[in-house]
Chain A
Amino acid sequence: MAMSKYDLTPRIAPNLDRHLVFPLLEFTQERELYPNDQILKAKIELLNNTNMVDYAMDIHKSLYHTEDVPQDMVDRRVEVVARLKSLEEAAAPLVTFLQNPNAVQELRADKQYNLQMLNERYQIGPEQIEALYQYAKFQFECGNYSGAADYLYQYRALCTNAERSLSALWGKLAAEILMQNWDIALDELNRLKEIIDSKNFASSLNQVQSRIWLMHWSLFIFFNHDNGRTQIIDLFNQDKYLNAIQTNAPHLLRYLATAFIVNKKRRPQFKEFIKVIQQEQHLFSDPITEFLACVYVNFDFDGAQKKMKECEDVIMNDPFLGKRVEESNYTVVPLKDEFLENARLFIFETYCRIHERIDVGVLAEKLNLNYEDAERWILNLIRTSKLDAKINTQTGTVVMEPNHPNVYEQLIDHTKGLSGRTYKLVSQLLEHAQAQAAR
């Protein structure tokens, strides 16, 4: 099971909704990380508490290669259908009202007014609204995500119970994620985050747990949304969220680390993050965090290089990181290439900082490139002025330009603030003097 060594599914799954685990299982099935039977069994296990009985039956058939279905599944199916019927009836008045575009226009922004209006003109009371929630939930359980999302959206407009509203929002988020509506899901996510951060939770424990769920769910969005890799850093690296990660879900560090590596613009927070990784290395470490430790803590470049290869595996086998994109006729994992490129740059950058002269051959080896490629790569870096160096072809070395801070610049830096401060001081004085005079 070497391939599943770094698989986080068992640690992530408890923090997800049942339905959200399916995509993960699908992925592991595809990558063949675990024996197929095990995965199918896990799926049935998952489905047991949902209403997707038909699906469960299918899986059962393929797992045991029979046409027979256990009796309890059949019973359950009957039960589910009956319950669906009754819920549908209960929610019917409200649903018909909501399906009538003319009627819906009568709704206003004022919740109280809406409730009163519904009650007076359509005889729709709290029971029906509650029924709508139950119905939506049932729909979700059955796998009808779009229906659930619609109903939940409307339920939230009518609901007055904050607790219920919150769980409706969770449901909506799950539904949107499952329908892969990333933009809407992102909106819902932010809405949820606001509630979690602002609301005075009953206990801080509860709050932290909510944050952890939110972060897990957000993985779906961030690694699919265009702008996700910046946003994941924005979210995860907030103090409160980082705390939550350190406390209860250190495995999320993998995603944050990856996001940091892939994202070049986030350097300021990066140093802090390295410290966090160091602190938590006894709780969680995988090749990606170890890679960072090698480059930034131990300066072990050979080790980093080895880790880089392992990272590739990790990324390929991670359901979030290893997302495939079909391009014309072959599939690529865009994140992997990006990661490797940036990781290489990380090594190179640090390596150059402490070296004056480097053999291109050695460098090529360290970067997992051949000589020609390495030279070209360095040339490119120099050309785009990312690297202040020259190549000496005669000796086959890269010579760093000495990058010592200029004394004059240093002096100017030191004194730059002075005039501003003095100016502020004077204006403060004057202000005060005027105030005195006015009095």
Chain B
Amino acid sequence: MASKFWSNQADSETESDVSDHEEDYENEGQDDANVPDPNKYRIGDSDSDDSEVKRVVKPLKDKRFEELSMTIEQMKNAMKINDWVSLQESFDKINRQLEKVMRVTESDRAPNSYIKALVMLEDFLNQAMGNKEAKRKMSSSNAKAMNAMRQKLKKNNKMYEDLISKCRENPESFKDQEEADEDDVDDGFSSVSTEPSIEDTLSDVDVIDVNQLVWTTMMNKKDKLIEKQFKDPSQVTWDTVNKKYKEVRAARGRKGTGKLEPVEQLTFLTKVAKTPAQKLQILFTLVSAQFDVNPGLNGHMPINVWKKCVQNMLVILDILEQYPNILVDDTVEPDENETEKGTDYNETIRIRGNLSAFLEMIDAEFFKSLQCIDPHTRDYVERLQDEPLFFVLAQNVQSYLERVGDHKAAAKAALKLVELVYYKPQEVYGAMRNMADQSDDNIEESRTESKAFVNTPEVVPRKPSFPTSSRELMDMLVSFIYAHGDERTKARAMLCDIYHRAVSDEFSTARDLLLMSHLQDSVQHMDISTQTLFNRSMAQLGLCAFRAGLISEGHGCLSELYSGGRVKELLAQGVSQSRYHEKTPEQELLEKRRQLPYHMHINLELLESVHLICAMLLEVPNMAANIHDARRKVISKTLRRLLEINNRQTFTGPPENVRDHIMAATRALSKGDFQTSFNVINSLDVWKLLKNRESVLEMLKNKIKEEALRTYLFTYSSSFESLKLEQLSKMFDLSESQTHCVVSKMMINEELHASWDQPTRCIVFREAEHSRLQALAFQLTEKLLVLAESNERATEARFGGGGGGLESLSSRRREGQDYASVAGGSKWQDNMSYSQGRQQSGYGGGRSYGPGQSYQNRADQSRGGYQSTRYGGLEARGGQMDGSNRMVSLNRATRV
């Protein structure tokens, strides 16, 4: 009945299907010229269907409606073949027609068919927008049309908002109303409705509609059937349940089976299952059916389904706990009637299933839902509160697997727990703990199961058990994983451990863990999410080092993250727009899927300011020391580049973002003005994110003073013959002993050509300048050395030198030339930062972790730290945005 009205269009439609394109094409031209009645041409053009048009003489009102519905048909067709160009035209047309219809009917309410068309269009559009795959395949004109369509529709739909929503809420009423309307309209023109072959000419769309309608009724019927079948508990046998179960299982995934339907049926079946084993079996199928509800790779499972799923898992664990003779296994195909054995059966019963895989899926869905939900809404917070629910499940799964002896899987479950906790500082952890304690009641409530044949008492605890400190929990889990986990699990646990220690200000332990595990060598070969985790740990380690006042260490950790300018991608915290290369939709999609939920993010502003401050503290005195050949010894390329850009500006306004602040501070510091420098940095508002803000700022102030002193001495030492200690310390507001220490260090390291005169407490500078002749002589010797070296190289290149000599030489040469400017810097790193080869190699041997690592020789080690300024330097020069070799490059990985 619903399609009665459209039926008369069916014939014309079949034909227009074929010539759709041309027709539309023609229409396009004619539409403009012939606004009042575009259909006239169209009808005239079409070779068939004359009879219909001629046969019925309709009043104007009816004719308008007919036109309208015809256009709707056209739109449907266009939708079917995904032709947005024609769809757009039809949409324009329908709007014009609408005006006419409204004029004719003299009502201010749009006709229902129009509203329905809008709804349909909207749905189709959303679907199309969601389907990126298809979108990409579209021709450019088509895609353009789609985008235009989206905009138009948006604008247009605003006018009919309430009608649309009404329609959505209650499509049936619209249908009825429509019919009623139609009846009104059709009054006396029953000839249309008595068209002979209604059924035959139903459009495909309608067939589906009807099908669905039929289907729903059928389903209801089926459900009722089941209910009836199982109404009498005494009659239910294992066999009937088993038969039904098999039926449902077979139907699952078949075309035409809804996604929610088997879930409902199985849920019912769990209540009537006869034996625990059977119930378990059904539950397993139920859980995997629930996973099917997930609409697609990019969407997430509906939250209520997720919660039910977790509850089902808990029931599974209950059963397993209660009947230890039931074993879960996914390697063997169990016997058909294995589940027949009842509670009194004491031998082992095997059920097919994989708990840890389910846990993984549930975790993935949780993660995805957090990715999808807008973090600034209440939904997000509510979703986050489900964390303890997952926590308890993972805990139970872990303890079960541990009991069963499947330590590897248990380690995986433990890793899930670790990943839930590692990024939480103690305060957040405590909050989660409290929340878990409180929110317990409503969980209980939802758990009241209606009476079932197999009662499953709650054996497994429903409350997560949190130790008071997150450290305790981490230690427990992590040591379990180290003992039993596979390589990836162990590596991830190690990274989480490092991260957590860094968060809780245990820098040296975190550093030792990182160096011991040799993860920085092997992380390139790991999967992307682990690489991201590694980057996150490094970032957190850098922050931790900074808080502890270890500036060069902090810089070492962070500089590589920033060397490529893609820090967002490296941390999976959003995508930075790149001007230079366009990403393909797949890449975009992949990146989107990798993103971390908002609550796990590391504050990027804080990270950037810490990185730049570290760079500033190191680079400013360094620049002052090498004022004459600035290109030697670059510590932070990033800072230098920023400074260059900043210096080019003709006018520098007051600082706005982090960079501006640091630039202003750098300028002040290079003049030795520590007070301004500190004030500018102090005005950054990221500091409020720090827990021990006061002490960090105090530390920072001290460092700035010291570096200002060093910069001052580097810059002006040549202008003094002597300087009083007292004066210096007053100048930089440092204690005398501190000043003495800083200056002494500079003397010992021969950065400053001076010595103390103890009785007068003065620094006496000495002339270290060479005379012209001497300078020239030095230059000569240097050139001689170069000559000798190139000679050697030439001979070796000619004769091969022997062994790998050639290769090593050429690589050395490259370094010598290309990295000349960086070489000094990296040497400095070797000396000062903790990329101490010895330590790492030692730890490799020292722990059972990573036993494959052998002792490397010294040469390797000096580069083995997580510092590779050299490579970083090269890249920046080459203008390539590829991540440096140590830092994980996501881009490279996606291309693979």
- Report A's interface with B, CB cutoff 8 A: 203-205, 207-208, 239-240, 242-244, 246-248, 272, 275-276, 279, 282-283, 298-300, 302, 350, 353-359, 362, 395, 397, 400, 402, 404, 407, 410-411, 414-415, 418, 421-422, 425, 428-429, 432
CB pairs A–B below 8 angstroms (17 shown):
A239-B855, A243-B845, A246-B842, A247-B842, A247-B846, A279-B836, A279-B839, A299-B745, A353-B747, A354-B756, A355-B756, A357-B758, A397-B758, A407-B774, A414-B782, A428-B795, A429-B795
Query: Would you give the shortest CB distance from B804 to chain A, in whole angstroms?
Result: 17
Interface set, chain B 780-814, CB cutoff 8 A to A: 781-782, 784-785, 788, 791-792, 795, 799
Q: Which residue of chain B is the closest to A283 with respect to CB atoms? A: B508
CB-defined contacts of A205 to chain B, threshold 8 Å:
846-848, 851
CA A400 to CA B851, docked complex, whole Å: 54
CB-defined contacts of B848 to chain A, threshold 8 Å:
203-205
Question: Which of the segments B106-114, B208-216, B220-228, B736-744 contacts the partner chain?
Answer: B736-744
Q: Are B756 and A300 in contact (CB under 8 A)?
A: no
Q: Are A354 and B766 in contact (CB under 8 A)?
A: no
CA A302 to CA B792, docked complex, whole Å: 52
Q: Knowing A356-B764, A402-B766, A411-B777 touch, does A203 contact B851 (C-beta < 8 A)?
A: yes
Judge whether B843 is part of the interface by a CB distance below 8 angstroms.
yes
- Report B's interface with A, CB cutoff 8 A: 508, 516, 737, 740-741, 744-745, 747-748, 755-759, 764, 766, 768, 770, 774, 777-778, 781-782, 784-785, 788, 791-792, 795, 799, 834, 836, 838-839, 841-848, 851, 855
Q: Are A300 and B836 in contact (CB under 8 A)?
A: no
Query: Would you give the shortest CB distance from A128 to chain B, in whole angstroms?
Result: 38
CA A397 to CA B744, docked complex, whole Å: 20
Q: Which residue of chain A is the closest to B740 with respect to CB atoms? A: A299
Our count of residue pairs bridging A and B at CB distance below 8 angstroms stands at: 123
CA A407 to CA B785, docked complex, whole Å: 17
With A246-B846, A354-B747 given, can you name 19 additional A-B contacts, CB distance below 8 Å? A204-B844, A204-B845, A205-B846, A207-B845, A208-B846, A239-B838, A242-B842, A246-B838, A276-B838, A279-B839, A282-B508, A354-B744, A358-B758, A359-B759, A397-B759, A407-B774, A407-B777, A425-B795, A428-B799
Q: Are A415 and B845 in contact (CB under 8 A)?
A: no
CB-defined contacts of B768 to chain A, threshold 8 Å:
404
Q: Knowing A355-B756, A355-B758, A359-B759 touch, does A414 contact B799 (C-beta < 8 A)?
A: no
CA A299 to CA B745, docked complex, whole Å: 7
Q: Knowing A243-B843, A246-B839 touch, does A425 contact B791 (C-beta < 8 A)?
A: yes
CB-defined contacts of A418 to chain B, threshold 8 Å:
784-785, 788
CA A30 to CA B781, docked complex, whole Å: 65
Q: Which residue of chain B is the closest to A247 with respect to CB atoms? A: B846
Q: Are A362 and B795 in contact (CB under 8 A)?
A: no
CB-defined contacts of B774 to chain A, threshold 8 Å:
407, 411
CB-defined contacts of B516 to chain A, threshold 8 Å:
247
CB-defined contacts of B737 to chain A, threshold 8 Å:
300, 302
Q: Are A415 and B784 in contact (CB under 8 A)?
A: yes
Q: Are B748 and A353 in contact (CB under 8 A)?
A: yes
CB-defined contacts of B791 to chain A, threshold 8 Å:
422, 425
CB-defined contacts of B847 to chain A, threshold 8 Å:
204-205, 247
CB-defined contacts of B748 to chain A, threshold 8 Å:
299, 350, 353-354
Q: Knowing A354-B744, A354-B756 touch, does A421 contact B795 (C-beta < 8 A)?
A: no
Q: Are B785 and A414 in contact (CB under 8 A)?
A: yes
CA A207 to CA B784, docked complex, whole Å: 50
CB-defined contacts of A207 to chain B, threshold 8 Å:
845
Q: Knowing A246-B842, A354-B744, A425-B792 touch, does A204 contact B755 (C-beta < 8 A)?
A: no
CB-defined contacts of B843 to chain A, threshold 8 Å:
243, 246-247
CB-defined contacts of B795 to chain A, threshold 8 Å:
425, 428-429
Q: Are B839 and A415 in contact (CB under 8 A)?
A: no
CB-defined contacts of A407 to chain B, threshold 8 Å:
770, 774, 777
CA A239 to CA B855, docked complex, whole Å: 9
Q: Are B755 and A355 in contact (CB under 8 A)?
A: yes
Q: Are B845 and A362 in contact (CB under 8 A)?
A: no
Q: Which residue of chain B is the closest to A424 with respect to CB atoms? A: B792
CA A411 to CA B776, docked complex, whole Å: 11
CB-defined contacts of A362 to chain B, threshold 8 Å:
758
CB-defined contacts of B745 to chain A, threshold 8 Å:
299
Q: Which residue of chain A is the closest to B796 with respect to CB atoms? A: A428
CA A204 to CA B851, docked complex, whole Å: 7
CA A248 to CA B843, docked complex, whole Å: 9
Q: Which residue of chain A is the closest to B798 with respect to CB atoms? A: A432
Task: Say which residue of B744, B756, B834, B842 sits within 8 Å of A239 (CB atoms).
Answer: B842
CB-defined contacts of B782 to chain A, threshold 8 Å:
414
Q: Are A279 and B842 in contact (CB under 8 A)?
A: no
Q: Which residue of chain B is the closest to A212 with respect to CB atoms? A: B846
Q: Are A243 and B839 in contact (CB under 8 A)?
A: yes
CA A353 to CA B756, docked complex, whole Å: 9
Q: Are A279 and B759 in contact (CB under 8 A)?
A: no
CB-defined contacts of B841 to chain A, threshold 8 Å:
239, 243
CA A62 to CA B292, docked complex, whole Å: 79
Q: Which residue of chain A is the closest to B744 with respect to CB atoms? A: A299
Q: Are A357 and B781 in contact (CB under 8 A)?
A: no
Query: Would you give the shortest CB distance from A237 to chain B, in whole angstroms?
Result: 11
Q: Are B799 and A432 in contact (CB under 8 A)?
A: yes
Query: Could you say which of B766, B839, B848 has the most chain A C-beta atoms within 10 Å of its C-beta?
Result: B839
Q: Are B759 and A395 in contact (CB under 8 A)?
A: yes
Top 10 A-B pairs, shortest CB-CB distance: A243-B842, A247-B846, A299-B744, A356-B755, A358-B758, A414-B781, A282-B508, A354-B747, A204-B845, A355-B756
